[in-house]
Amino acid sequence: MILRRLTMAVLVTAASMVVATPARAATPVRIMPLGASITWGTSSSDGNGYREHLRRHLVDAGLAIDFVGSQQSGTMTDRDNEGHPGYRIDQIAAGADAWLAAAQPDVVLLNVGTNDTLQNRDLPNAPGRLRDLLDQIVAARPTATVLFSTLVPSGNATNDARVREFNAQLPAIAQAQAQAGHHVRLVDLNTTLTAADIGSDTIHPTDGGYAKLASLWHTGLRPVLGAGRDWPLFRTDFGDAAPPLTWTDSVVASVNVGGFCCGLTAMQSGRRAETAHGGTYALMFSGNDLSATQSYSYNRVFDVHVPIAADTTLTYWIYPQYPATSVALDLSLSDGRSLRDSGATDQHGVRAHPAFQGQGGRLVVNQWNLVRVPLSALAGGTIDQIRIGYDQPATTGIFRGYVDDIAIVSG
């Protein structure tokens, strides 16, 4: 499936585009997820779709939120939404006034049009009908902010061509809304998703795909709700409530690195309760360097979808043991770039590459060390994986250590 890349990262009305409820107000921000089956959460294993992932992101940012709508779906506690499986743009428009009047949202997250493409329903006029729906929502809730989205990719080639044609018309609609002074902005849910993010029905995202949608909605909400606050994009203390590891002991690339002991044959990486920076658990890494000329290992830890802005920063705490200072977190981007090769440096001016971290002399063995890396060199990219890397060409022997309290934050 070939996706045509669209330029639609940020389309803003003005600096005054904020919801009526201040970002720091005690009253929860009322958010209406509005649309069809993707809003409802169809084909997600828990029925929550993107909504629970998004709720956790926003709570992490220090926001009180309340999802609103006449529908309830999924296993999450706050199940309210306005997702209507099978609905087209005209059907959403028919119910919108009543739903908005009842729920009084501060923010509307609108994803609609997929069923129009699937049914081949008046497609030449579909973008215009979406424009009219946006005008209708603005008229009904003039103080609210509306985030409307592109359609996700389709696993069916014919339908995906319709999706791409529809999506191509949306930046102009967003620009016209901005010029009219409406609190409306466009969020791209298409460009950075792949065929692997869409399920076997060719329509609905996988669980991983829904998690990506949540990250994209979250990024789109930052200019609306994030004024004056840091905006966490990813955070974990490896506790029971934190995102679980996607991979354990999963080597991506390795040369001359074996196992720490006990018949192990490769670098380990996994959640352990042996030591931690703040809570109970941390990420343990260990291995055995077998060469004094070339040795490295990079292990996958988290599968993420985190857009990087110019003010995004990575921080983590690391506890090296068994002279293991040539270790660092690495970020693999969806465009093939990586943190280790970006030239980015930490707060001490040391390159954020495992080998340079070891040579920099700032990491102290057997104590917790803070590493903070501004990611402006990678701005515009999207983090696809968080990895742990060991890279030490000049020393042999066993190594082990721990990483904790990882945070990727904008602001």
Under DSSP, is residue 297 helix (H, G, I), strand (E, B) or coil? Answer: strand
For the chain, what are the domain ranges? Answer: 29-229, 236-410
**Span of 60-69, 117-126, 219-228 with lowest mean pLDDT:** 219-228
Residues 6+ positions from 183 with CB-CB distance below 8 Å: 13, 17, 19, 138, 143, 144, 145, 146
pLDDT tens-digit series, residues 86-103: 999 999 999 999 999 999
pLDDT tens-digit series, residues 175-229: 999 999 999 999 999 999 998 999 999 999 999 999 999 999 999 999 999 987 8
Q: In angstroms, rounded to a whole number, what is the distance separating the alpha carbons of residues 383 and 306? A: 5
Q: In angstroms, rounded to a whole number, what is the distance separating the alpha carbons of residues 168 and 6? A: 7
Number of other residues whose CB lies within 10 A of the CB of residue 361: 10
- Out of 3.40.228.10, 2.60.120.260, 3.30.9.10, 3.40.50.1370, select the CATH number for domain 236-410: 2.60.120.260
Average pLDDT over residues 344-354: 98
| Burial of residue 179 (number of CB atoms within 10 Å: 0-12, 13-18, 19+) | exposed
Percent of the chain with pLDDT over 90: 89
Please give the CATH number for the structural domain made up of 29-229: 3.40.50.1110
Write down the pLDDT at residue 322: 81
